[in-house]
Structure 1
Amino acid sequence: MLLLLCAAPQSGGAEVLQWRGEGHRGEYPEQGLLQSWPADGLTAVWKTAGLGEGYSSPILVAGKVYFTGAQESEGQKTEVLSCLDAADGKLLWQTQFGQPWKGQYPASRCTPSFSAGEIFVSSGSGEVAKLSAETGQLQWKIDAMQTFQGVPGGWGIAESLLVDDRAVYFTPGGKITTMVALDRRNGQTLWQSKSLGEKTSYVSPTVIHHNGIRQIIGATTNYVFGVNPDDGSFAWSCHFAEILDAGRKIKRYDIIANSLLYRDGRLFLSNGYHHGSMMFQLNQNASAVEVLWTNLDLCSQHHAFVWYQDWIFGTSHPTRKWTCLEATTGKTLFSEKVPQVGLGQVISADGMLYVYDADRGNLILAKPDPTGFQEVSRFPIRDGQQQHWCHPIIVNGMLLLRHGDVGLAYRLK
Structure 2
Amino acid sequence: MFARILSICLLSTTALTAADWPQHLGPLRTGHSAEAGLLNTWPADGLKINWKIEGGVGMSGIAVVDGLAVTLVQKNEKQLAIAVDAKTGEAKWETAIAPAYSNAMGNGPRAFPAIASGQAFVFTGQGILASVDLASGKLNWKNDTIKEYKGEVADYGMAASPLVVGNFVIVTTGHENGVAVAAYSVDDGKSMWQTNFADSIGYSCPALLKVADKQQLVVFTGTHLRGLSTLGEPRWEYRYVTPYDCNIVTPQIVDGDIFISSGEDHGAVRLKVTKSGTEYSVEEVWSSQGRTSVMRNEWQTSILHKGHLFGFDNIGGAGPITNLNCVDATTGKLAWQVQRFGKGNAIAADGKLFISMMDGHLIIAKLDTKQYTALGSQKVTRGTRQAPTLSDGVLYLRDDESIYAVDVSGD
**TM-score tier after normalising by the smaller chain length:** 0.7 to 0.9
Structure 2 counterpart SS, 1:154: coil
Which of residues 293, 296, 300 in structure 2 aligns to 1:299? 296
Q: Secondary structure at the match of 1:202?
A: coil
2:259 to 255, 268, 271: 268
Cross-structure match for 1:393: 389
Aligned to 1:157: 158
State the shift of 1:284 in Å: 4.8
CA distance in 1, matches of 2:302, 2:349: 13
Q: Distance in 2 between matches of 1:299 and 1:410?
A: 29
Q: Counterpart of 1:145 in 2: which secondary structure?
A: helix
Alignment of 1:348-367 (within 5 A): 348-358=348-358, 360-367=359-366
- Conservation of the 8 A alpha-carbon contact between 2:211 and 2:257: no
Task: Give the Å deviation of 1:146.
Answer: 1.4
Shift of 1:152: 3.2
The residue type equivalent to 1:135 in the other structure is S
Q: Does 1:290 align with 2:283?
A: yes
> What TM-score do you get using the length of structure 2 for normalisation?
0.88
Post-superposition Cα deviations, 1:31-62, rounded to whole Å, max 9, x if no partner, equal 1110122244211111111x221212111111
Q: Name the counterpart of 1:253.
A: 244
The residue aligned with 1:107 is 108
SS at match of 1:70: strand
Task: Quote the RMSD (CA, aligned, Å).
Answer: 1.9
Q: Is residue 305 of structure 2 the alignment partner of residue 308 of structure 1?
A: yes
Partners of 2:194 and 2:386 lie apart in 1 by 31
Once the 2 structures are TM-superposed, how far is the Cα of residue 138 of structure 1 from its aligned partner? 0.6
Instruction: Report the CA distance shift for 1:328/1:63 in structure 2 as closer, same or farther (over 3 A).
Output: same
1:116-167 C-alpha deviation (Å, 9 max, x unpaired): 1011111000011111011111111111011112233321101110112321
Query: Displacement, 1:253?
Result: 2.5
2:272 matched residue in structure 1 = 281
1:408 Cα deviation (Å)? 0.9
CA distance in 1, matches of 2:184, 2:250: 21
- 1:170 CA displacement: 1.5
Cα distance, 1:188 vs structure 2 = 1.9
Instruction: Name the CA distance, whole Å, in 2 between partners of 1:281 and 1:212.
Output: 12
Paired with 1:99 and 1:278, the residues of 2 have a C-alpha distance of 39
Partner of 1:9: none
Kindly state the Cα deviation for residue 100 of structure 1 after the two structures are TM-superposed: 4.1
| TM-score, with structure 1 as normaliser | 0.87
Q: Which runs of 4 or more aligned residues in structure 1 lie more than 6 Å from their structure 2 counterparts after TM superposition?
A: none
Distance 2:126 2:109 in 1: 10
Matched, 1:406 2:407: no
1:38 is matched with which residue?
Answer: 43
Counterpart of 2:360, as a letter, is: G
- Superposed CA deviations along residues 175-218 of structure 1, whole A, max 9, x for unmatched, are 445211112222222111132x1221111111113465221111
Flag the 1:174–1:199 CA change in 2: closer, same or farther, 3 A. farther
Instruction: Tell me, in whole angstroms, the C-alpha distance in 1 between the residues paired with 2:338 and 2:19.
Output: 36
**Cα distance in 2 for residues equivalent to 1:17 and 1:43:** 24
- Superposed, which structure 2 residues align to 1:146-225 within 5 Å? 146-176=147-177, 178-195=180-197, 197-210=198-211, 213-225=214-226
The unaligned stretches of length 5 or more in structure 2 are: 1-16, 316-320
Alpha-carbon separation, structure 1, partners of 2:220 and 2:152: 13
Residue aligning to 1:238: 238
Q: What's the counterpart of residue 24 of structure 1?
A: 29
Letter in 1 for 2:190: Q
Q: Kindly tell me: are residues 263 and 99 of structure 1, through their superposed partners in 2, closer, same or farther at Cα, counting changes over 3 Å?
A: farther
1:316 alignment partner AA? D
Query: How far apart, CA to CA, are the structure 2 residues paired with 1:207 and 1:21?
Result: 13
| Partners of 2:150 and 2:27 in 1: CA distance | 30
Cα distance in 2 for residues equivalent to 1:309 and 1:327: 9
Partner of 1:370: 369
- 2:258 is paired with a residue of what secondary structure? strand
